[in-house]
């Protein structure tokens, strides 16, 4: 198979920060699902300034699998900005985003693709049996309420990284020059049709959550005082590309 000339149908974008214990298993699970789907794909890891062996492990994977692409950042920028950077390099007709901590289940990927096939531009996952500590659940409920209140965009679960969008929607999003770290409200506003689906959510077994209370609080204050659905085009491109150390692809 000539991967260079083959049109890519699915792009999986995964930000990674200190996930050395989860990467290999996640990769194997995703690959198994994608092979069964019999569709061309790419897996894009955005290495978000990890301090452990995350980069070395995904580099070993990439050497053996030309479908894997690595975007290595020079510092930790956070999940949302890592996703924005990943969007700049996707080639697939459908873009799927997910966490790198094994809490999202790759077996749910076909559900997203089925909804996209039905004609939806954006499909959001919501965790109907969430396996997180109580304080995380409470903070998430408050955050969801605040985001709905300010943006007038109703989603069941803004904090779930598992989602899918048509390439046209992502291109439209990039064309607006969005700098905001709050991606979903903008995507929903730009989309012609939106669906939400239940997704599995597993307990984190390895590694440490990156969402400490101070970080969540900072993000919440940033949203309350700085977020706007108005375009932000001036700094977007420069701000994204200045934090990329290297891009490695097959």
Instruction: Encode pLDDT of 165-188 as tens digits.
Output: 999 999 999 877 655 567 888 898
Statement: residue 133 has pLDDT above 90: no
Residue 46 pairs in a beta bridge with 15, 71
Residue 87 in any domain: the answer is: yes
Residue 232 in any domain: the answer is: yes
Statement: residue 232 has pLDDT above 70: no
For 32-48, the pLDDT digits (tens) are 999 999 999 999 999 99
For 77-132, the pLDDT digits (tens) are 988 889 999 999 999 999 999 999 999 999 999 999 999 999 999 999 998 776 55
Residue 100 in any domain: the answer is: yes
Output the six-digit token pair for 125. 């996952």
Residue 250 in any domain: the answer is: no
168 CB-near residues (< 8 Å, 6+ apart) = 121
Residue 29 in any domain: the answer is: yes
Q: Stretch 156-167: mean pLDDT, rounded?
A: 91
Range of the domain at 154: 10-242
Residue 153 in any domain: the answer is: yes
Buried b (16+ CB within 10 A) or exposed e, 45-60: bbbbbbeeebbebbbe
What is the number of structural domains in the chain?
Answer: 1
Asked if 88 and 9 count as a contact pair (C-beta separation under 8 A), the reply is: no
Residue 2 in any domain: the answer is: no
| CATH number of the domain enclosing 49 | 3.90.550.10
Secondary structure of 197-242 in HEC code, one letter for each residue:
EEECECCCCCCCCCCCHHHHHHHHHHHHHHCCCCCCCCCHHHHHHC
Closest CA to 112 of 69, 148, 162, 177: 162
207 CB-near residues (< 8 Å, 6+ apart) = 18, 19, 20, 21, 22, 101
Residue 76 in any domain: the answer is: yes
pLDDT at 203: 72
Quote the percentage of the chain above a pLDDT of 90: 57
Q: Stretch 229-247: mean pLDDT, rounded?
A: 68
Output the six-digit token pair for 150. 């300010």
């Amino acid at each position: 198979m000539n991967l260079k000339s083959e049109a890519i149908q699915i792009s999986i974008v995964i930000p990674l920060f200190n996930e050395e214990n989860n990467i290999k298993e996640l990769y194997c699970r995703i690959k198994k699902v994608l092979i069964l789907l019999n569709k061309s794909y790419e897996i894009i890891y955005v290495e978000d300034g990890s301090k452990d062996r995350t980069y070395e492990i995904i580099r070993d994977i990439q050497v053996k699998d030309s479908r894997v692409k690595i975007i290595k950042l020079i510092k930790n920028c956070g999940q949302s900005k890592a996703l924005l950077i990943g969007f700049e390099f996707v080639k697939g007709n459908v873009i799927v985003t997910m966490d790198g901590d094994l809490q999202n289940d790759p077996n749910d990927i076909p559900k997203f693709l089925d909804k996209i096939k039905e004609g939806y531009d954006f499909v959001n996952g919501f965790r109907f049996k969430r396996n997180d500590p109580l304080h995380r659940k409470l903070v998430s409920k408050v955050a969801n309420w605040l985001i709905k209140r300010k943006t007038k965009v109703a989603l069941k679960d803004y904090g779930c990284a598992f989602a899918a969008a048509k390439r046209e929607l992502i291109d439209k999003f990039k064309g607006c020059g969005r700098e905001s770290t709050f991606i979903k409200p903008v995507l929903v506003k730009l989309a012609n049709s939106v669906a939400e689906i239940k997704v599995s959510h597993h307990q984190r077994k390895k590694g440490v959550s990156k969402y400490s209370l101070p970080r969540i609080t900072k993000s919440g204050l940033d949203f309350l005082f700085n977020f706007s659905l108005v375009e932000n085009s001036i700094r977007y491109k420069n701000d994204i590309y200045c934090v990329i150390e290297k891009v490695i692809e097959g």
